[in-house]
Amino acid sequence: MSRTSKTRPSRTKASASRTRPAPARVPARRVIVLVATRKGAWLYHGDASRRTWRVNGPHFLGHIVHHVVLDPRDGRTLLAAAKTGHLGPTVFRSTDLGRTWKEAVTPPAFAKPDEGSAVPARSVDHTFWLTPAHRSEPDVWYAGTSPQGLFRSADGGATWAPFSGINDDPQYRGWMGAQQDGTPDGPKMHSIIVDPRDPRHLYFAMSGGGVHESTDGGKTFAPLVGGMEVVEGFDAATITFHDPHCVRLCPSKPDRLYQQNHCGIYRLDRPSKTWIRIGRAMPKAVGDIGFPMVVHPRDADVAWVFPMDGTMVWPRTSPGGKPSAYVTRDGGATWKRLDKGLPKEHAWWTVKRQAMAADDRDSLGLYLGTTSGEVWMSRDEGLKWSRIAQHLPEIYAVETAALR
Amino acid sequence: MKVLIPSPLLSYTKTNRVEAAGGTMAEVLLDLDRQYPGLRFRVIDEQERMRPHMRFFVNGKQVFDLGLELRPHDAVHIVQALSGG
């Protein structure tokens, strides 16, 4: 894909459910669902009731797209992290909801190491995660890459530069580990979080390599792994053994974070530095292993997970072939299964860490994408699910945004 | 010199045969990037290494050295190699 391209929209309708939505108490803004896959990206535009979805795409057909995010600060700028099997990683930007795209002039790329550097040179394999910065920094974005690297753009995604000193810091490089310490398609920098109260307060997570926090605008970071467990037989004091899968901050209570980890589900209430394993309250037969973590935008006691089988050889599929979300409404003290409308058996789904999201409507909508190419949604916080797309390539990420 | 462009890069060049100048492979790639901004980073990474699934041939012979000297009438082929399904 060159620096600029156009995508023709299609009017194909996805399936609609007959379920009557709950009465809206917040003025409805139309929802767009941004689906990133191993073979391109698709945008699903919902009608006001979120019953019918107009598909727009494919964008970047054949590209490996790890993340597509719409900037909530302007409601129209899209960033897409893409590469192909042959071509190196880049970032595309659209300011007209995907009608046209423009390639970054300088995509995320590691610096060349200084002569005599103790750490070996690295190249970005793919940009994995995109996070818009604080509202007071309208053109600033952060990106996390594989292998793990933190990057920043100050011009809306046109040019990117290494951010903070961690990319080449010998201690951080040690914590990032080697290729063997990451996921099968490379170690990931993810869950880049900006405190809505303070643009200088940042978090990120690494698979593997733990959760980290900065209070000085990224100048320095420090591990935040207290209470987090690691695989049995390993030392939890070793940062590289920590494998957070997804970390989310509660917008309504920014001192609260939830985390889905390789070793359980956690909650952290700052200023505490000790994560509490709230996944212990999950049903034993299901366990508390999974990839995604979703928080309610207006109620910090409410969060959702989508458990997977983390036993034996780690199939990472829905336990027993029976997919279900689980919700807590009391900060993790109790969990409730939410599988109405989902397949009852023989559905061996995997939902990746970026592939589950909420909208901001009331009643809240939930969305998830499977590696088998289906997108499902619920208009009532997970009480009932319906499928809105199928036959897509392997889904890597599902994000939502409200259109103005 | 003439450079054969593989299909993944046609969105940059719009044609599979282009002209580029340079005394080495590295200079030819810089000239291609000058003409078609963004192309070089898609085939050469930030550490000046050829990306894993891109291959470079000069007069039918595969080359691995970006410093390789070229003559004006050499034929450069950039080729996409296997990269999975």
For the residues of A216-244, what is the DSSP string, one character each? STTS--EE--BT---STTS-TTSGGG--E
In this predicted structure, what is the pLDDT of residue A115? Answer: 86
From the candidates B51, B78, B80, which should be mutated to test the interface with A, based on the most A CB atoms within 10 A? B51
Sign of the dihedral through C-alpha A373, A377, A381, A382: negative
Q: Work out the pLDDT band at B84, boundaries 50, 70, 90.
A: low
- Residues of chain B whose beta carbon is less than 8 angstroms from a beta carbon of chain A are 6, 8-9, 11-12, 36-38, 41-47, 49, 51, 53-54, 80-81, 83-84
CB contact under 8 A, A88 and B8: no
Interface contacts A/B by beta carbons within 8 Å: 57
Is this model's pTM higher than 0.90 or not? yes
CB contact under 8 A, B11 and A2: yes
Beta strands in B1-85 (DSSP E): 2-4, 17-19, 54-58, 61-63, 75-80
Contact residues on chain A for B53, CB-CB shorter than 8 A: 85-86
Return d(Cα A169, Cα A174) in angstroms, integer: 8
Residue B21 and residue B36 in contact, taking contact as beta carbons nearer than 8 Å: no
Contact residues on chain B for A84, CB-CB shorter than 8 A: 8, 83
pLDDT in tens, A339-389: 999 999 999 999 999 999 999 999 999 999 999 999 999 999 999 999 999
- Phi, psi (5° rounding) for residue A239? -60, -40
Q: CB-CB: which of B9, B41, B43 is closest to A107?
A: B41
Q: Please state, rounded to an integer, the average pLDDT across all residues of chain A.
A: 93
CB contact under 8 A, B8 and A90: no
List, as one string, the DSSP characters of A47-69. -TTS--EEEEEEESTTSEEEEEE
Q: Work out the pLDDT band at A8, boundaries 50, 70, 90.
A: very low
pLDDT in tens, A314-324: 999 999 999 99
Q: Work out the pLDDT band at B78, boundaries 50, 70, 90.
A: very high
Average pLDDT on A259-275 reads 98
Q: CB-CB: which of A2, A3, A112 is closest to B47?
A: A112
**Shortest Cα–Cα distance, B59 to chain A (Å):** 22
Query: Does the beta carbon of A120 lie under 8 angstroms from any beta carbon of chain B?
Result: no
Beta strands in A104-240 (DSSP E): 126-132, 141-146, 149-153, 161-162, 188-194, 202-207, 210-214, 222-223
CB contact under 8 A, A88 and B51: yes
CB contact under 8 A, A86 and B53: yes
pLDDT in tens, A181-194: 777 788 999 999 99
**Shortest Cα–Cα distance, A226 to chain B (Å):** 36
Return d(Cα B14, Cα A22) in angstroms, integer: 51
Task: Give me the interface pTM, i.e. the ipTM.
Answer: 0.90
Q: Work out the pLDDT band at A13, boundaries 50, 70, 90.
A: very low
pLDDT in tens, A327-347: 999 999 999 999 999 999 999
Return d(Cα A128, Cα A397) in angstroms, integer: 10
Looking at residue A176, the DSSP 8-state letter turns out to be H
Residues 274-313 of A with CB under 8 A from B: none
Query: Does the beta carbon of A13 lie under 8 angstroms from any beta carbon of chain B?
Result: no
How many residues appear in chain B?
A: 85
Return d(Cα A295, Cα A381) in angstroms, integer: 11
Q: CB-CB: which of A1, A85, A103 is closest to B83?
A: A85
Residues 33-92 of A with CB under 8 A from B: 84-88, 90
